């Protein structure tokens, strides 16, 4: 007769797996994005968005509108996190402003990585390229952690949301703000 | 508990991204890799007259002699080589598709041009006669010039039967052109109605160039040595996708225009010693454009 081996397993961290999956997928996505942007041979041109003087201004305005929605995100996100009894409409506003904001950035990032690529020729451009990868990586991680929201530590959503917000502001500051400041504010 | 909302959001972002990426790859086929050009397969009706500019290279049927023949207008020059310092230069003329060359030391050459090929006989070389055949070689040549009123400067690069050209006035007018050389006829087209039609005559090219619909000029250009040529740079200037073209004349005179979106401005000075230029404080490199390169998106 053999006795069952008795091993004292440490208590499993209930949060570990879903959180790891979300964060690693986010990191992987950021990496893939950066690698594609770096390795894909920049075409230097891409589809124009109608109504703007140049693709650059179209991108700058799309990003600016996304930033406005992101500020809404920050305000509603903070309310939802801090107050358990935030009005129900606030969650709806948070979701939809986020969806609109992220969709607005999609044509921008496609132009960035398809036509320009991962640039390293100045500090501003390096910061912008890195922030672009961080932004989408954090966005993917946040979406995936929302899927299992009840299995997440409380700090995860505010932190990921904060990273998404800060990186978008950084993206905007290193591109749209720079453009408006150097070439003027027009369409 | 699993929520689908975030996944749907994520999915729609991905779908939109893929749609935009595909739309871009379809819309802006960029400077495609110049496909390896297969040998011109002109076996149809034979040319009735010799091309005005062509180089033929070949061998005698027994492989004893190599032949290089340059046709230049009505003049023909040839070089025979059987190794061992037995090299002879010949001069002659073309009459229709027939040509006859002679040399001071005795050897002669007669032949005829048939499409891309040349057939003939070498006589009196090393005390023998050699039948030979030669094929038209792909030759890169640059023609540069100006419109008759000096409104635009142009540079045309021909590469065998392919041609690429750039015309501009250094400020606001510019066009890229792509086309072919057929015999002595040159025909190129570009975006927005741009075109160039010309004919090669001796060392010159004459014709009409259209920068954009309604903006046509007669021009003349001549065969030009380097650094003359078409130069191009596709760069991102502070995030702004910019395409710059230069038409460079043999004396180093250059005119170029930079295009970023709908904005056009004079191109920076191209340093012809290493093809570099500086724009907004950053250093870039331009590339000479060959006739076989794709400069107009198909």
The burial class, CB within 10 Å (0-12 / 13-18 / 19+), for B42 is: middle
**pLDDT < 50 regions, chain B:** 28-48
Tokens standing for residue B123: 């006589």
Residue A49 is predicted with a pLDDT of 58
Contact: B28, A182; criterion CB under 8 Å? no
Contact: B234, A44; criterion CB under 8 Å? yes
Residue predicted with more confidence, A122 or A143 = A143
**In whole angstroms, what is the distance from residue B230 CA to residue B245 CA?**
7
Residue B132 is predicted with a pLDDT of 86
Asked whether B175 and B249 are in contact (CB, 8 A), the reply is: no
Residue A159 is predicted with a pLDDT of 93
What is the DSSP code string of A105-173?
Answer: HHHHHHHIIIII-S--SSHHHHHHHHHHHHHHHHHHHHHHHHHTGGGS-TTHHHHHHHHHHHHHHHHHI
pLDDT, one tens digit per residue, over A50-99 is 556 667 788 889 999 999 999 999 999 988 888 767 788 888 999 999 99
Contact: B27, A47; criterion CB under 8 Å? yes
Contact: A148, B263; criterion CB under 8 Å? no
C-alpha pair distances (Å), B113 with each of B94, B116, B209 = 10, 7, 31
SS (HEC) of A29-56: HHHHHHHHHHHCCCCCCCCCCCCCCCHH
| Whether the predicted pLDDT of A103 surpasses 90 | yes
**In whole angstroms, what is the distance from residue B154 CA to residue B194 CA?**
13
Asked whether B122 and B254 are in contact (CB, 8 A), the reply is: no
Asked whether B263 and A54 are in contact (CB, 8 A), the reply is: yes
In A, which residues are within 8 Å of B25 by CB distance?
114
Asked if B15 has any chain A CB less than 8 Å from its own CB, the reply is no
Residue A105 is predicted with a pLDDT of 93
The end-to-end CA distance of chain A, in Å, is: 83
Q: CB count, 10 Å around CB of A130?
A: 18
Contact: A110, B236; criterion CB under 8 Å? no
Residue B41 is predicted with a pLDDT of 35
In A, which residues are within 8 Å of B241 by CB distance?
44-46, 55, 115-116
Of 1.10.3470, 1.10.10, 2.40.160, 3.40.1700, the CATH number of B139-289 is 2.40.160
Residue A52 is predicted with a pLDDT of 62
In A, which residues are within 8 Å of B261 by CB distance?
48, 53-56
Mean pLDDT of A156-170: 94
Q: Least CB-CB distance to B235: which of A44, A148, A175?
A: A44
The burial class, CB within 10 Å (0-12 / 13-18 / 19+), for A2 is: exposed
Domain extents in chain B: 53-137, 139-289
Contact: A46, B28; criterion CB under 8 Å? yes
**Parallel, antiparallel, or unpaired for β B98-102 and B117-125?**
unpaired
Asked if B17 has any chain A CB less than 8 Å from its own CB, the reply is yes
**In whole angstroms, what is the distance from residue A159 CA to residue A165 CA?**
10
Residue predicted with more confidence, A150 or A126 = A126
**In whole angstroms, what is the distance from residue A168 CA to residue A185 CA?**
20
Q: Least CB-CB distance to B261: which of A53, A150, A182?
A: A53
Q: CB count, 10 Å around CB of B106?
A: 11
What is the 8-class DSSP label of residue B190?
A: -
In A, which residues are within 8 Å of B20 by CB distance?
47, 106-107, 110
Q: How far is A117 from chain B (nearest CA, A)?
A: 10
Confidence tier at A30 by pLDDT (50, 70, 90): very high
CATH code given to domain B53-137: 2.40.160.90
Contact: B261, A179; criterion CB under 8 Å? no
Q: What is the pTM of this model?
A: 0.48
User: Predicted ipTM?
Assistant: 0.80
**In whole angstroms, what is the distance from residue B227 CA to residue B249 CA?**
7
Asked whether B144 and B248 are in contact (CB, 8 A), the reply is: yes
Whether B53-137 and B139-289 share one fold: the answer is yes
Tokens standing for residue A110: 């496609």
Mean pLDDT of A98-122: 86
Asked whether B163 and B188 are in contact (CB, 8 A), the reply is: yes
Contact: A103, B16; criterion CB under 8 Å? yes
pLDDT, one tens digit per residue, over A137-151 is 999 999 999 888 888
Interface residue ranges in chain A relative to chain B, Cβ cutoff 8 Å: 42-48, 53-56, 95, 98-99, 102-103, 106-107, 109-111, 114-116, 119, 121-122, 125, 128, 139-140, 142-144, 146-150, 175, 178-179, 182
Q: How far is A103 from chain B (nearest CA, A)?
A: 6
Q: Least CB-CB distance to A54: which of B1, B236, B261?
A: B261
What is the DSSP code string of B33-86?
Answer: PPP-PPPP---SSPPSS--SEEEEEEEETTSS-EEEEEEETTEEEEEEE-STT-
In B, which residues are within 8 Å of A111 by CB distance?
24
**In whole angstroms, what is the distance from residue B116 CA to residue B137 CA?**
9
Contact: B260, A54; criterion CB under 8 Å? yes
Tokens standing for residue B254: 């250059």
């Amino acid at each position: 007769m053999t006795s069952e081996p008795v091993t004292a397993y440490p208590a499993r961290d209930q949060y570990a797996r879903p959180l790891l999956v979300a964060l690693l997928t986010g990191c992987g996505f950021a990496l893939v994005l950066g690698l594609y942007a770096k390795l894909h041979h920049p075409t230097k041109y891409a589809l124009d968005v109608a109504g703007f003087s140049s693709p650059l201004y179209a991108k700058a305005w799309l990003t600016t509108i996304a930033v406005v929605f992101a500020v809404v995100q920050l305000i509603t996100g903070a309310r939802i996190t801090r107050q358990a009894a935030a009005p129900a409409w606030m969650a709806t506003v948070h979701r939809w402003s986020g969806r609109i904001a992220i969709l607005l950035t999609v044509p921008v990032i496609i132009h960035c990585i398809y036509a320009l690529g991962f640039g390293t020729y100045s500090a501003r451009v390096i910061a912008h390229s890195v922030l672009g990868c961080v932004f989408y990586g954090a966005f993917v991680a946040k979406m995936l952690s929302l899927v299992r929201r009840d299995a997440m530590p409380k700090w995860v959503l505010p932190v990921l949301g904060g990273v998404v917000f800060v990186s978008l502001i950084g993206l905007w500051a290193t591109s749209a703000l720079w453009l408006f400041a150097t070439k003027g504010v027009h369409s | 508990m699993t929520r689908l909302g975030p996944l749907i959001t994520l999915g729609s972002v991905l779908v939109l991204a893929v749609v935009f990426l595909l739309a871009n790859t379809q819309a802006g086929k960029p400077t495609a890799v110049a496909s390896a050009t297969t040998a011109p397969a002109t076996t149809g009706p034979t040319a009735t007259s010799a091309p005005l500019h062509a180089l033929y290279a070949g061998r005698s049927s027994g492989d004893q002699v190599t032949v290089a023949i340059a046709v230049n207008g009505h003049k023909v020059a040839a070089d025979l080589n059987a190794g061992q310092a037995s090299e002879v230069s010949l001069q002659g003329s073309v009459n229709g598709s027939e040509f006859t060359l002679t040399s001071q030391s005795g050897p002669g050459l007669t032949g005829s041009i048939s499409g891309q090929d040349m057939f003939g006989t070498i006589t009196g070389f090393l005390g023998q006669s050699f039948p030979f055949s030669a094929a038209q070689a792909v030759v890169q040549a640059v023609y540069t010039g100006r419109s008759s009123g000096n409104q635009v400067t142009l540079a045309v690069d021909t590469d065998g039967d392919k041609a690429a050209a750039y015309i501009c006035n250094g400020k606001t007018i510019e066009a890229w052109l792509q086309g072919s050389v057929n015999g002595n006829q040159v025909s190129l087209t570009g975006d927005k109605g741009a075109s160039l039609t010309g004919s090669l005559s001796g060392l010159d090219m004459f014709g009409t160039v259209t920068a954009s619909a309604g903006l046509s000029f007669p021009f003349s250009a001549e065969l030009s040595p380097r650094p003359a040529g078409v130069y191009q740079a596709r760069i991102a200037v502070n995030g702004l996708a910019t395409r710059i073209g230069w038409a460079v004349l043999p004396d180093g005179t250059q005119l170029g225009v930079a295009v970023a979106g709908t904005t056009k401005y004079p191109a920076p000075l191209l340093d012809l010693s290493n093809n570099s230029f500086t724009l907004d404080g950053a250093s870039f490199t331009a590339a000479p454009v060959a006739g076989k390169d794709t400069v107009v998106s198909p």
